Structure 1
Amino acid sequence: ADLVTATDKAVEAKAFAALRSAYPDHAFIGEESASAIGSDTVTLTDNCTWVLDPIDGTTNFVHGFPMVAISIALFHHREPVVGVIYNPILDEMYAALKGGGAELNGTALPLRPPVDAKPLTLATSLVGTEFGSDRRPECLDKKTAGMARIGRLVRGVRCIGSCALALCLVARGTLDAFWESGVHIWDFGAGVLIVREAGG
């Protein structure tokens, strides 16, 4: 099952309180508030909408594994226009503005060029993925089979326990690609914009 801690709830409540005060006409979608009403399905409109995952990588957080992030995105006309992902343990702040590029702690992304001078291929790629929190046998079997298929084609596969931070690793040039099934908009909203603005 997907873990939820008191910290998840407190971070979401504090972030949304500050944003509602500054932007009272905006809409808000949070992982914990969606879960509280028993819904994994949310609907974006053309209105300005803040989308928040208060702790992406809650299992990592509980176990003291440092790949943990707060992920927040502003959507307008159903497209992300602002994205911020912060890892408080490593003090790494990824940020992007649509049309304005992406950065990590003030340094433009990507941080490094590809390792090989040759064009990137699947065979030379380091790819990220995740198992996610769904432990139903049919779901695990499907994901394991997918990992096996892609694992035969790439140089390596990595799982770090945070969709948001995996996308940041793509943006900085550490991972070449990331794929995961069963994710929600709060998992990838900010990260997708950061990857796009880094040139991905």
Structure 2
Amino acid sequence: MAACAAPTKKVDYSAFKASKPRSIVVLPPLNKSLEVGATYGMLSQVTVPLAEAGYYVLPVTLVNETFQQNGLTVASDIHDVPVAKLRDIFSADAALYITITQYGTKYMVFDSVSIVAANARLVDLRSGQTLWTGYASASSNEGNNNGGSLVGMLMTAVVKQIINSSTDRSYGIAGTTSFRLLSAQPGGILYGPRSPSYGTD
């Protein structure tokens, strides 16, 4: 599941650089997949790449508990909260909105593959301006060579389906997707003020 080389997209960072966010509140991801556990499978993985990029990330359990105490338990309702209200409650500089577009394992005749894909939007809580948008995906079949005999492919498919059905294989894939989506890299978010690389990008 190593990162694949992809063409670097052209990104306008002028608003991001002018905003200089130091702290980020991560909202529970919107789940557009059919997998019930996708929201928390993804949410549990996103703070590490953001922290490693140099940002203070509000603890997701505290944020989630705050929303629940205020009667907000559905991600779509949380995403509709005005940015000024989020700023008042959490005192963060920016909010990260994530939408999961794929999460789970697809079973096919000769194979099964776990895929997690998501897009994200970083919004300035002072102005409501979008600072950055991104998309990333990861798959359990990256780098696999599916050549071989028919019997061998069938046996491999059976073993993978047993493993995938007894464990949440997508959880690990979500970690890879999170790092691809939220690590400071060309086309990704900029380094934050707690990074020694701050201001070099």
TM-score range, shorter chain: under 0.3
**Greater relative contact order (Cα < 8 A, sep 6+):** 2
With the length of structure 2 as denominator, give the TM-score of the two structures.
Answer: 0.25
| Larger-Rg structure | 2
